[in-house]
Amino acid sequence: VNPYELIRAKRDGRELSAVEVEYLVSGFAGGTIPDYQLAAFLMAVCFRGMSARETTALALAMMNSGKVFDLSDVPGAKIDKHSTGGVGDKVSLLLAPLVAACGVRVPMVSGRGLGHTGGTLDKLEAVPGFRTDLKPAEFRRCLRRLGVAMMGQTGELAPADKKMYALRDVTATVESIPLIAASIMSKKLAEGIDGLVLDVKTGNGAFMAKPADARCLARTMIGIGKGMGKRVTVLITRMDQPLGNAVGNAVEVVETVAALRGECPEDLRAVALALGQEMLRLGLGTTAAEARARLARAWQDGSALDRFRQMVRAQGGDERIVDDLSRLPQAGFRVPVKSRGAGYVRVMDTLRIGLLAVRLGAGRQRLEDRVDPAVGLWFRKKLGDRVGRGDVLAEVLANRREPGRQIAAELADCYTLGRERPARRNVIVERIAGT
């Protein structure tokens, strides 16, 4: 076996064995297979795809390139949730304490903003003092005490994936379903979890814009989970507008706390409850109805908000933000976005909205950029809403007036209005469960 033969095999559409995939991953991670050979291989994968066996072998090899958490000494079922990324997707912030309050352990390793999408770590760090760089022992302690801990990927977790992702990012080999699936699963399964609920986004703000691609990614990830003996459930959810009303970092924490207090936008509530239900089903073996009842109770009686508060404190954050949201970073300017026409909101260009938020400073254009936690967007009108000329569609929360105005002008262009009210569409598109 040599790298050349494996590149050629993939180029010519032959299936690689698990041993061959493992050889490529460990050689690349260890530096004996150079970047240029792996780059050629990855491009061949973009054209040829990977079989279920190859994809599972890839995820497994990347997982085994680093540490695999052993959480067997933490009692109870450990279930994580992962989203493929969207705009305004603050579900993790809300869901992790909510599900923990229902008795499921949630060991969550999250990421930063990527492209036009936000990242859970960036949002958490908008809370003054909040630390996401937990050591494994701290992570385990939080998990045992509170049932929830949220941290970033360390160099110890799936380092081969980290190195491969960096290479894919500069060689235009990101957009490949098996590579995306294996990358996600290698990290998630290194967390030592018992089961995983995946939120695969589809629509004009998702990486998988087409439902068929989202479904294919879902099935690929379920296949990997099966190959590794873990139960995986996928919900395909709509990402054709920001989820909730806030897009940014501190603003999404504001919306999360408000939601846990009871003021929750309908789409955000629907996604959180649907994902939570699957986590309880996997973790506790409850029926769907029972899971929904428990989640509703924990939400209403304040125990979810309380769990959120405890998590903030445990991870070094200023828990006073929960009672006083003005303690979160505040933007200097609020620029209203006014409608230039009238009608019903028929389309929101969610990809562009995400990119505008990044340009505003809520995400990174380059790896070395710093995120401004205070800036963001706040939407007043969403799909299906009736808008009159001059109505406020949204607000831009900026720290510099001029770019804020420019972005507000462009944000207006992200709306397409029409005469007829569009049909209301369920935010949950489909549920796909592993067997």
In the complex, the residues that contact its own copies under the rule CB under 8 A are 3-4, 7-8, 11, 34-40, 42-44, 46-47, 167, 170-173
Shortest separation between residue 159's beta carbon and its own copies, angstroms:
18
Shortest separation between residue 161's beta carbon and its own copies, angstroms:
17
**1 vs 172, beta carbon nearer its own copies:** 172
**11 vs 144, beta carbon nearer its own copies:** 11
Whether residue 183 lies in the annotated active site: yes
Cα-Cα-Cα-Cα dihedral sign, residues 247, 396, 378, 318: positive
**41 vs 415, beta carbon nearer its own copies:** 41
Phi and psi for 272 in degrees, rounded to 5? -60, -45
Two tokens at 89? 């997707």
Do the beta carbons of residue 274 and residue 428 sit within 8 Å?
Answer: yes
Shortest separation between residue 425's beta carbon and its own copies, angstroms:
29
Angstrom distances, CA of residue 64 to CA of 22, 187, 298: 9, 10, 37
Shortest separation between residue 207's beta carbon and its own copies, angstroms:
15
Burial code of 4-18, b = ≥16 C-beta within 10 A, e = fewer? eebbebbeeeeebee
**172 vs 296, beta carbon nearer its own copies:** 172
Q: Of the residues 65, 92, 183, 339, which is catalytic?
A: 183
Q: Of the residues 161, 194, 267, 372, which is catalytic?
A: 161
| Number of neighbours of residue 213 by Cβ within 10 angstroms | 17
* Max intra-chain CA distance, the chain: 67
Do the beta carbons of residue 249 and residue 371 sit within 8 Å?
Answer: yes
Whether residue 169 lies in the annotated active site: no
Do the beta carbons of residue 317 and residue 130 sit within 8 Å?
Answer: yes
Whether residue 307 lies in the annotated active site: no
| C-alpha span between 305 and 74 (Å, rounded) | 23
Whether residue 82 lies in the annotated active site: yes
Q: Of the residues 168, 215, 281, 382, which is catalytic?
A: 168
Half-sphere exposure of 11 (CA within 13 A, CB side): 11
Shortest separation between residue 28's beta carbon and its own copies, angstroms:
11
Q: Of the residues 10, 82, 105, 382, which is catalytic?
A: 82
Whether residue 168 lies in the annotated active site: yes
**38 vs 305, beta carbon nearer its own copies:** 38
Q: Which residues are catalytic?
A: 82, 161, 168, 183, 187
